[in-house]
Amino acid sequence: MAIWRAAGLNYINYSNIAASLVRKALKPELRAQAARREESHIKMTKWKEGKPEQTQQQQIK
């Protein structure tokens, strides 16, 4: 059995914790570059009668 599973975590949680620890261990000049990779964007489009009506973009941290 994997250690992360024995600890009661799923793989996604384990992976997020490991990635966070790696980012914290980076040298300061590399830490800023890694922080930029954490940002994600989503695009949402509302549809009405089969046609796109409105599109929004959101940044997620």
Please give the model's pTM, rounded to 2 decimal places.
0.53
Structural domain count of the chain: 1
Quote the CA–CA distance of 57 and 44 in Å, as a whole number: 6
Can you state the percent helix, strand and coil of the chain, rounding each to 5? 50, 30, 20
One digit per residue, pLDDT tens: the chain, 61 residues?
Answer: 688 888 899 999 999 899 889 988 999 888 888 877 777 788 889 999 999 998 888 877 6
**54: DSSP letter:** E
> What's the pLDDT at 48?
92
List the domain range (segments joined by +) for residue 44: 3-60
Cα 52–chain centre separation: 27
What pLDDT, on the 0 to 100 scale, is given for residue 61? 67
d(CA 61, CA 52) in angstroms, rounded, equals 27
**C-alpha neighbours within 13 Å on the C-beta side of residue 15:** 3
